[in-house]
Structure 1
């Protein structure tokens, strides 16, 4: 029996195969069992983004990568990706990235890049609780956080203990300080594991401008250097995060144009995050490097 997931998978494959041509919602709807209006509703309900916005962001992200990886003229990139004019391309590019194509190329940073939505095939070895996984690529300059640290044994250690130690650390901090309206970050220092045994340092952190006045003696400065990340959106209970990370390591990364590097990994939690809610959303930032660079 064909399911809605199967239909959306087919729609996504169609979009990804035809990025070099103009794609209207009518064209895409013709590849599904739905009308234009129905496709819009189903697509947004399942993926959290409209069809038109998804196509536009993929095209502009592909254009941004070409600006960084080639010497192609902006106008040639625009036409190859199905934009009707350089003016229309430049306007859309600025709306997404906040700068012109020329300024983006000059900056030389992979920032705000949407990657094609991944449709995860259902299998016993895949513990993800959603068939659609969103990954984007972001570059960030050096950032400062203030946090409290604890040693942990990570996902790939012989005896992982992070699932116990990390919640315990956060519980201690949240019991002492009111951070209910504050964005929170878990910073994992992978550079402190010289023997690759999985022994890491975890920082339960916040940004400097959110530091309570009473926390200066408890929180310590941790500086994260400039890095490029693959950003994975995790939907579901926080206890299922290791399955999302395993999927990234074993499936996404080997099939991408990037490779992982040892650096500072970051968990990013919105202020209202409740980790035991089945629809909770957080992001995990993993350091990467373009293959060959």
Structure 2
């Protein structure tokens, strides 16, 4: 098999793994699905990706488990079984080996420790995200908060349609459209469901641009802090993939820890392009 054919096989395999993380994904099982001997598949996988097949599948499954632990209140045992671990003790040992803490401790932590996440390998020529580490000064804002809930698996926290609907609903309360709009995203786990997660989204402006009745906004303070700053200019339907890359690829690859706080979205000029499905956004993630 020449190298071009190998690349095609590995690319298809990586896509298949992402779609089947809930399966046990032993090397024997993956090889049988790929139609190659496990020795040959392991050799070309390591040659093309730099990581062994077993380490990659285990790392991806545990990283998905870590995300679900953080954003839901699902039982640890249920998560372990769904992702192919035969027992909770087996899952807890594997999880601690990768993340250095137990699943329970990971869930309770106020930070999102991404340094041990295994990022999905995107076997293509897509450009990598560019970002800068910055410090934002203390900000005073006026905004309106909304909690958005979704079933696990819907990726609604990376789906931009819910944000746009919130802004559309909010616009009638603005007498004059401000020069810039600020979105605050606080990822929180849903309080009454093991299957749901929720995030709190705040539509805000600086006080001088508020122009809204007092009962439609509240004062919000964002303390001075350290952030990693991204820039997005493009179609609205590409924002979901942009956010996914930040959390699933960039933070882990760059060994960054997301601290407690809110992601900040600053749209400038104003989202005049909402109806035209275009976005110009500076996106800030709070880090240690």
Q: Normalization by structure 2: what TM-score?
A: 0.48
Q: Normalization by structure 1: what TM-score?
A: 0.47
Higher relative contact order (CA 8 A, sep 6+): 2
